[in-house]
Amino acid sequence: MKRNILTLLIIALFASAIVLTGCKLATEAPTEAPPEHIVEVAPTEAPAEAPTEVPAEPVTIEVYYPVAIDAPIAGILNGYIEEFEAENPNITVEPVFSGGYGDVQTAITTTIDGGGQPPALAVLLATSLYDFINADYIVPMDGYIAAMDDGDAFLADFLPAFMANSYYDGKVWSIPFQRSAVVMYYNADMFADAGLEPPTSWQSWAEAAQALTVIEGDVTNWGLHFSSGWPYWLFQPLAIGNGQNIIEDDCNVVFNDPKVMEAVQFYIDLSAVYDAMPAGVQPSWGTDPTDLASGASAMIVHSSGSLAGIIEQADFEVGVMPYPGKEEGTYASVPGGGNFYIFKGAPQEQQDAAWKFVEFLAQPEYAADYSIQTGYIASSQSAYETDAMIAYIAEVPQAAMTRDAIQYAGAELACQNLGEVRSIFHNYLQMAFNGEMSVAEAMAAAQAEADAALEPYCQ
């Protein structure tokens, strides 16, 4: 390995560094079927002619990354870029770091729509697949994979639930990179001091949050912070934990299903009935990890990608688990995170160089290191077989807990016309949370508007 990677592996073996992660939960050591909303289909047509090798002439590619979690993403990736360029001196990688997935997607689509040239490569939400295909922004990767000596093994190594987001119409359109899952983090010391066990149902979750809420004068240390500023992702495990996901396939959502509405009501009851968390919409995504670490909250729901930062801040034992489901002994989560996409508007030589970079970062040593340093779930099985990952999980068992949550994951919301459908759901879910509409009224309106938004794409 190169010097930087050796250093990182030594750190993983002998120091308590950062974190691994577990599931946008669909990957993990446990084996599970791919999410049901995108069916994994083996290519049925002959792959496109394999692209030529990256030309000997120097080529520069732009790569866009979101940096919206509590981990030093830019520094980590710049280190990988340095090592990649040392192995590929004819390729220069220019990273462009932005705030979050939405910021990156907006920047790229604005460039393309304005007649400009997009970057060759970007990490964007796995669920953006339909939007990019419909807009003709991206290219399939089957030709590159077919040109590999071990292309089938390359694909088979990725965790199935993560890879499921990459297939459409028999083609591979993206490669998993920084994948995550929704999990619940909790202050295990607070639970022990209060004589409480980790919750195993909605009822015990609500009661634990109620018991751990402490009000002293004007200061309230909440039992639970449940961010809802970007609500669909963190809400989905509630619905899944009640036996009904909000998505059936790319053309059908079920926002008004009785079990989904019951999950919305449970969220509301956590404050209205149990006084266990702040009422209404909680736009607290950015501050929840710090509130957990400081003791201002006993539990939070967040991305597995925040594990490293949370453990680094906390001076107590950090517990990690999937959401408790409604019924005793049931649990739920949902996968998340981003994949690599290669953009059609980039010149061919840049596309080819971009694939070389994807291959480089897909190596198990890099997948493991990235997981260890950030808390994202490593996207491949082989990453968990590296010495560095084995040693890290022995040192930081929470990394395995986040990974294992994947076995309880349902499919993330991914459908045609995703941006509009997601905005509809967000709007009405927040109105229900704030008491501006009843749960039944809000979800009925969300269903009707989502059906209308899907109709032009699903006839």
Q: pLDDT by residue (tens digit) across 272-303?
A: 999 999 999 999 999 999 999 999 999 999 99
What are the C-alpha distances in Å from 123 to residues 269, 358, 383?
37, 10, 19
Q: Which of 22-26, 421-425, 452-456 has the lowest mean pLDDT?
A: 22-26
- Is the Cβ–Cβ distance between 146 and 273 less than 8 Å? no
- Is the Cβ–Cβ distance between 17 and 11 less than 8 Å? yes
pLDDT, tens digit, 9 for 90 and up, residues 143-201:
999 999 999 999 999 988 788 789 989 999 999 999 999 999 999 999 999 999 999 99
Question: What pLDDT is stored for residue 118 in this prediction?
Answer: 97
| Rounded Cα distance, 56 and 455, in Å | 48
Nearest CA to 8 among 379, 312, 387, 339? 387
- Is the Cβ–Cβ distance between 355 and 228 less than 8 Å? no
What are the C-alpha distances in Å from 150 to residues 108, 154, 156?
32, 6, 10
pLDDT, tens digit, 9 for 90 and up, residues 52-96:
454 568 999 999 998 865 558 889 999 999 999 999 999 999 999
pLDDT, tens digit, 9 for 90 and up, residues 369-402:
999 988 889 999 999 999 999 999 999 999 999 8
| Rounded Cα distance, 218 and 177, in Å | 44
Question: What pLDDT is stored for residue 406 in this prediction?
Answer: 86
Instruction: Say if residue 49's pLDDT is above 80.
Output: no
State the maximum Cα–Cα separation within the chain, in Å, rounded to a whole number.
70
75, HSE (Cβ side, Cα atoms, 13 Å): 7
CATH number attached to the domain at 183-332+415-457: 3.40.190.10
| Rounded Cα distance, 154 and 209, in Å | 44
Question: What pLDDT is stored for residue 357 in this prediction?
Answer: 98
| Both structure tokens of 56 | 């000997």
| Reported pTM | 0.78
Beta strands in 385-436 (DSSP E): none
| Rounded Cα distance, 343 and 119, in Å | 7
| Rounded Cα distance, 242 and 409, in Å | 12
Report the mean per-residue pLDDT for the chain.
87
Residues of each domain in the chain carrying CATH 3.40.190.10: 9-180+336-408, 183-332+415-457
Nearest CA to 22 among 408, 412, 413? 408
Question: What pLDDT is stored for residue 396 in this prediction?
Answer: 94
CA 78, 80, 83, 87 dihedral sign is negative
SS3 62: strand
Helix ranges (H only) for 221-257 are 231-240
Phi-psi region of 295 (alpha: psi -120 to 50; beta: other; left: phi over 0): left
> Who has greater pLDDT, 230 or 269?
269
| Rounded Cα distance, 224 and 186, in Å | 9
Q: Name residue 321's amino acid.
A: M
Question: What pLDDT is stored for residue 55 in this prediction?
Answer: 55
CA 308, 313, 317, 323 dihedral sign is negative
Residue the block writes with tokens 């967000």: 426
Nearest CA to 177 among 123, 111, 229? 123
Helix ranges (H only) for 295-347 are 307-313
Quick one: CA torsion of 84, 366, 122, 183, rounded to 10 degrees? Answer: -160
459 pLDDT band (50/70/90 cuts)? confident
Angle of helix 3-14 relative to helix 387-395, nearest 10 degrees, comes to 30
CATH number attached to the domain at 9-180+336-408: 3.40.190.10
| Rounded Cα distance, 416 and 432, in Å | 24
